[in-house]
Amino acid sequence: MLKLFSASFLTMFFTASSFAQDPNFYIFLSFGQSNMEGHSKPEPQDTVANERFKVLQAVDCPDLDRIMGNWYTAIPPLSRCNTGLTPGDYFGKTLAESLPDSIKIGIINVSVGGCKIELFEKDSYESYVETAPGWMKGMIAQYDGNPYGRLLELAKIAQKDGVIKGILLHQGESNTGDKSWPKKVEGVYDNLLSDLGLAPDSVPLLAGELVSAEQGGKCASMNPIIATLPDVIPNSYVISSADCEAIADGLHFSAAGYRLLGSRYGEQMAALLMKE
């Protein structure tokens, strides 16, 4: 009887331990449109892995041997199967280098090129999807038609393994000129925290500027609106895109631009975490 009890106890102990939340595993949610999705092709230096930086796969990618909902060492693509380099790549690398070796970094990236912030409004996204162009509907379908729902689903999986420490956003090109954008972002932010059981304003939100006017940014007029986000969400921070190289379309960053922008996300988050 004692042996049977001991075996049962050990089985329960190791099963519980294998699913225990690790307070040193810092999880970050990221979402947005094409620049967060990843537009520029990764170069050899971008595929050098840091074993402390992980990605929770957002869609099944058989060609990459990745299954949705599983953790992998983070190398591009971080979003869907054929996307490119993102700010998230160098956010994670920079943060891992800035924090003690005992800390692991995990990222979740659910992004859709060309989308408005309205796609992530959980109570009204369906009306936006109905009017979306066919090419966008195909991308949305990879998230079972609900990118916000997929982000939330993955975040809940991640919460079993680690602690959500921040949210990254790069979006706004498709909302250029929309002065209500900060309030819409606030709605998405508040919903995420509420649905994940996190205290209001407890998690910092980092939002990147769009391609700057100096780099020929076609949507640079949106940056002053993005700059007002901290007025609406006190625990938010705007990441400068100054000197972040862009490509000829005036909408997307080059690989070098993503590296610089991503490192700035990482430096800002490291500074916030150091205060803790």
Question: Would you please indicate which residues are annotated as catalytic (active-site) residues?
Answer: 34, 249, 252
Say which DSSP state 175 is in.
Answer: G
Across 114-126, b (16+ Cβ under 10 Å) vs e yields bbbbbbbbbeebe
Q: Of the candidates 68, 61, 67, 65, which has an alpha carbon nearest to the alpha carbon of residue 82?
A: 61
Residue 253 bridge partners (DSSP): 246
One-letter amino acid identity for 13? F
Instruction: Check if the beta carbon of residue 113 is closer than 8 Å to that of residue 61.
Output: no
Locate tokens 């869907």: which residue?
80
Pinpoint the alpha helices (H) of 160-243. Answer: 181-195, 223-226, 229-232
For residue 248, what are its two tokens? 């000829």
User: Residue 41 — φ and ψ, nearest 5°?
Assistant: -70, 130
* CA gap 38, 78 in Å, rounded: 8
**Helix, strand or coil, per DSSP, at residue 178:** coil
* CA gap 85, 225 in Å, rounded: 25
* CA gap 87, 251 in Å, rounded: 14
Q: Of the candidates 165, 159, 75, 149, which has an alpha carbon nearest to the alpha carbon of residue 112?
A: 149
